A and B are shown apart, each in its own frame.
Chain A
Amino acid sequence: MENAKDTFYVMLRNRLATLNPGRTMLLRGVQRPGILVEEAEAVVAMLPADVFVLRWSGLKSNVSLPLVLAQIECEIHYTTGGSQTASGLDRGRALEEMDAELMNILSPPFTPKMNYAVNPVVQLNTPIFWSAPEFSSAESVRDRLLRTATVTICAYQEPGEL
């Protein structure tokens, strides 16, 4: 599933950079689009604000098909405290803006699967595709609002693929 996970992240990152170039973060000294994969970064006590954080969770496979179909759950966590200029009173609007951005970058719900582990990058034969997002209720924690969207990413495991 590594190719599918990499592809999903890079696809969301690129779509986000196009949709909202202003949503950026400074990560390990580099300014980049405001989306990261939790397991690929240092462990932190609290989720960064105004950034989409991808957390990979459940995994299932269907072996009854000509190619094994793997399904992996991706929890997309995001939190915001609103803007400093509005003293956080716009945190509801800021969360809705992130909701809309996420729905936007998850569409269309498919993209060609790439192998980013090789140079140059190789496009594989099958695409990845994913379910409609399921959004949790907004949760208030101190001065922040949090939400999680869960998406199931599906990918056929091609011969020789990890």
Chain B
Amino acid sequence: MTTAAVSYTTPTPPLTRRVRAYFAPVNRLTGQPTLFDPSAVGSFALDTPPAPWSDLGWIADFARKSDSTISTLNAGSPALPQLQMREVVGATVSLRFLAWKKLSMALSAGSEHMNLLTPLSTGTANGSGSSAAPATSVLSGSTASLIVVAAASLGSFHAGQMIAVDMDYSGQTGYVGSGVSAAYVRSAGAVSSSVDYIRRVTFNVALVASVGNGAITLAQPLPAGIPTAGMKVQTIQGFVDREGGSFFQEWSALFVMPGEQGERMLYHYPRLQSMAGAAESAMPFLEPMEWISLQARFRALPVVDGNDGQQVLCFRSFLPSPMTLL
């Protein structure tokens, strides 16, 4: 048996136009990040990342920085370098998100990120939103894209609304939020025992596509999947973050640079924590318009590589272009 002769090319310098960002939750309770395996899914279609990665689109000003330091042990006279040791291992990442959405805002702000729950008409004014109008129970038969509620409550919803779906707060402490650890509650008193607190911080949000046949159909699936028993739904007006707060967002991140020759560079940070407060940057567009993008800076935290037990901060993978000599 013979195979057809093939031709090979020598490696060319990678040429890329832009960087795409994907983020996935870290289970804060167990400290378990979402690991990306480039050997198994490194060539995924950029528009359809593998679950549970969320596509945050093309980003700008992506910059990686190593803060690791290596020292030398010198010995003898005159002193000569005998060996090297890693003194500090560190890495940071900075970038700008071009699109504003729940997740990109939260990553940029770095602290608790809140949903602006539709308020009671009698609520007292508050910077991150006042007391919310009552939530509606989610009934069985709901899915990630279909929320079943009582027929009498259906009239409160309409297409184009944004909703948050999560449990009532009932006095628990620790990480809260379905699907994503959205905040850390130190005591019930700290959140005024507000029954809506978890829905105020949850990442389980979506846009309503239509309302009818006893259910709310969503334009996008809920990040936390099928609602569990006891969840409730509330409409939201938008989002709010703050300078300050005690919580640090921590997410797994993947950055992809697609090369012009078909090669691909992937940068995987299993654990990134925000290291800067909320900030934006303005880029001139057409006079007098400006692009307003979200600035974000992160510090990488370590994970243990299962292949050799080493503690590492990030993984850089390279998938060469086809038929390129190695």
Contacts and interface: CB of A to CB of B under 8 A. Distances in A.
Interface in A129-153: 129, 131-132, 152
Interface of B is mostly: loop
Interface in B10-37: 17-18
A132 B287 contact: yes
Interface residues of B, number: 11
Contact of A131 (B18, B57, B99, B289): B289
Interface centre among A66, A71, A129 (most CB of B within 10 A): A66
A66 B286 contact: no
Contacts of A152: 286
B288 interface: yes
B213 to A, nearest CB: 23
Contacts of A71: 286
Contact of B99 (A66, A129, A132, A154): A66
Contacts of B99: 65-66
A64 B18 contact: yes
Interface string B82-108: 000000000000000011000000000
B58 A65 contact: yes
A64 B258 CA distance: 13
Contact of B57 (A66, A129, A132, A154): A66
Interface string A49-74: 00000000000000011100001000
A64 B58 contact: yes
A71 to B, nearest CB: 8
Nearest to B55: A66
A64 B293 CA distance: 13
B107 to A, nearest CB: 16
A64 B58 CA distance: 6
A77 B98 CA distance: 36
